[in-house]
Structure 1
Amino acid sequence: MAGSDVLSQAEIDELLSALSTGIVSAEEIKSEQKERKIKVYDFKRPDKFSKDQIRTLYMLHENFARLINTYLSAHLRTLVHINVASVDQLTYEEFIRSLPNPSVISIFQMPPLKGNVILELNPNIVFAVIDRLFGGTGVAPVKPRPLTDIEEAIIRRVLAKMLEGFQEAWKQVVAVEPRIGAIETNPQFAQIVPPSDMVVIITLQAKIGQAEGLINVCIPYLVLEPIMSKLTTTFWVALGTTKQVTQENITTLQRKLQRTSVPVIVELGRATVTVQDLLDLAVGDVLQLESRFDGELSVIIGQREKFKCKPGLVGGKVAVQITEVMLKGDENDE
């Protein structure tokens, strides 16, 4: 990511050159580290996310990384390793400038939260997936290029599965339903918020076979603003604890169960016949049942025999009188 506290490759080369030539010594660097450090604060881009909220987002997307790691490993049948590298907050303009061109930028929504979110995949990862799905070894081309229509259709399916993992990871905080919209290859055409708006960037380090690259999830602050209070470790841990069972909960559950309808069947009897006898049955034939006319009948609740009864009449209607309660099917036997 491009940022004020990140060195460019040219600055790193210059620093290494200074160390090798003796212009800057390792002792000077160590002495500078011991001095009191002053953190630079830019009032034009105030921090929107607390450290606790950043930590919660990190844990959420660790689960997301595990889910897509499992999916891609099984789908591509090759070695896949994905883990969360960092969670940073910066302006949307800084994020867009850090993306390669071309890239694969999926813009999706996550109702009921408003606004758009970006899932960006490095071209090396995308083409390794495509090559593997088309029967190759998973080698990305030397020079990245935009996706063809067929390749985009394939990647849409992969992205849809990845967003299922995103939905599963986020349900611990809020139930969202991610929906893919447009897929862009030029970062300049992916404008989901004004350039100066703050966003949180979750960066995943991905390795598929021999191909390596980054997967970035860009979530604007405006999208997360309604649920900022839920993005705390305390709230997240509280959701995972088991609710204490109280007498009030038990009474409510019993009351709901008592209003539940269940089928009640009185079985007059059973008979066993051959298929040939069944085919020869005609009007007037008599089937002899295994039960006696003066014996008890079975009362079946759902699929279990629960009572014994005797038939009779009540007010001109057929009825049964319970004579015995069967222990079979009791809750103690479950």
Structure 2
Amino acid sequence: MADILSQSEIDALLSALSTGEMDAEELKEEESKPKVRVYDFKRALRFSKDQIRSLTRIHENYARLLTSYFSAQLRTYVQISVASVDQLPYEEFIRSIPSATVLNIIEAPPLEGHLIVEMNPNIAYAMLDRLLGGAGISMNKVENLTEIEKDLMIRLFEGTLPSLKEAWSSVEAEMRPRLLELETNPQFLQLVSPNETVIVISLSAMIGKSSGMINICLPHVVLEPVIPKLSMHYWMSEKKNDVTKEEYQALRQRIENSLININVLLGKSQITVHELLHLNTGDVISLNRQIDQPVTVEVGGFPKFFAQPGKKNKRMAVQIIKPIVQEDNHNE
């Protein structure tokens, strides 16, 4: 696809052609020349655009869930959103993150391998400061976290795992994420080969007045079992699957055997609080319904039928007269 020029670039190009700085014939020759695009085999693109879009949607939902979770835990303004989704070699991802940062190593069975959630020190320490009763001021001291501070961070980040599970439930419903460890030095982290393609989802985070990035690293080898479920073709084919006759009969039988609550409303009345406090045995409360008027039968809390009260086999019962239509409901 050709590059789209902005209006300022178009104006500059027309100006160069009109002043003679650029020749139209030379432009035609440039267009006719075969275009060669350099391909780096170390950066093999193993995810399609469709799969990238699916991953973006999943983590946009994850970002919303994280915003709610951190807002409740830290009791301060939190805003998290997806900034970018890229695929690159694992080695390049490790080189791009700070030498001292907060790395959460997560396993998510039934997927094999490990995921990485890298928390920028600005954000990580702002969270820690809030947990300890501070104003959420960032202070880069990740290199020498105390055991208490590390334990507080682990507990905070473990609380994000249900959000990760919920965000991925549409793709891998049985995912059971678990935080394995918290690491501060990325050089000790060799989870996959340096040339392995990984997806890096960068989340822009604002905690109070501190801002930074949260990077989620998903290796291709980990996502390989669910990659087919990330395509739009998978979702369309899932929707096209018709329910079989056996499934329909089984579903109908389960619904027909379900228990529902039925209430018979004899009438309504209004009394004052004073009258309520002075009610005694034998007092009579007048209802708003005449004795010859039908009563209302409610199914699941909704009025469905008019009925006549009576007895059957020495037990109180009602006889259905007619169903309630919308007009009858309004008239009543």
TM > 0.5 between the two?
Answer: yes
Alpha-carbon spacing, 1:54–1:266, altered in 2? closer, same or farther (3 Å): closer
2:123 corresponds to which residue? 125
Partner secondary structure for residue 230 of structure 1: helix
TM-score (norm 1): 0.63
Tell me how far apart the structure 2 counterparts of residues 246 and 76 of structure 1 sit (CA, whole Å): 50
| 8 Å CA contact retained: 1:101, 1:186 | yes
Q: Which segment is superposed worse, 208-217 or 124-133?
A: 208-217
Alpha-carbon distance in 2 for matches of 1:329, 1:177: 48
Give 3-state SS (helix, strand or coil) of 2:110's partner.
coil
Residues 192-211 of structure 1: pairs in structure 2 closer than 5 A: 192-211=191-210
Secondary structure of the residue aligned to 2:160 is helix
Q: How does 1:82-231 map to 2 (within 5 A)?
A: 82-90=81-89, 92-133=90-131, 134-136=133-135, 138-175=136-173, 176-231=175-230
* 1:72 maps to which of 70, 74, 83: 70
For 2:15, the equivalent position in structure 1 comes to none
Structure 2 contact 76–208 (Cα < 8 Å) conserved: no
TM (normalized to structure 2)? Answer: 0.64
Alpha-carbon distance in structure 1 between the residues aligned to 2:260 and 2:81: 49
Structure 2, unaligned runs of 5 or more: 1-21, 266-275, 287-291
CA contact (8 A) 1:115 1:223 kept: yes
Please name the residue that 1:6 is paired with: none
Q: Which amino acid in the other structure matches residue 210 of structure 2?
A: A
2:66 counterpart letter in structure 1: I
Work out the number of aligned pairs and report it: 287
- For residues 76 and 266 of structure 1, what CA distance do their matches in structure 2 show? 47
Opposite residue 325 of structure 1, the aligned amino acid is I
CA offsets per residue over residues 62-88 of structure 1, 9 Å max, x none?
332333234434534136454323322
In 2, distance between residues paired with 1:256 and 1:333?
30
Q: Which amino acid aligns with 2:47?
A: F
Per-residue deviation at 1:326? 6.2
The SS at the match of 2:77 is coil
Query: Displacement of 1:106 after TM fit?
Result: 0.9
Q: Distance in 2 between matches of 1:45 and 1:155?
A: 34
Distance 2:324 2:308 in 1: 12
Identity of aligned residues (%): 33
Q: 1:242 to 1:166 in 2, by over 3 A?
A: farther
The alpha carbon displacement at 1:221 in A equals 1.4
1:17-28 matches, cutoff 5 A: none
Matched residue type, 1:164 = P
Q: Structure 2 vs 1, CA of residues 312 and 234 (structure 1 numbering), >3 Å: closer, same or farther?
A: closer
Q: Distance in 2 between matches of 1:324 and 1:200?
A: 63
* CA distance in structure 2 between the aligned counterparts of 1:159 and 1:46, rounded to whole angstroms: 32
Q: Secondary structure at the match of 1:69?
A: helix
Give the partner amino acid of 1:203. Answer: S
Superposed, 1:57-68 pairs within 5 Å as 57-68=55-66
Question: d(CA) in 2 for partners of 1:237 and 1:153?
Answer: 45
Local SS of the residue matching 1:145: helix
Q: 1:49 to 1:78 in 2, by over 3 A?
A: same
User: Mean Cα displacement is larger for which, 158-167 or 217-226?
Assistant: 158-167
Q: SS at the partner of 2:201? A: strand
RMSD value, Cα? 4.8
Q: Offset at 1:49?
A: 1.6
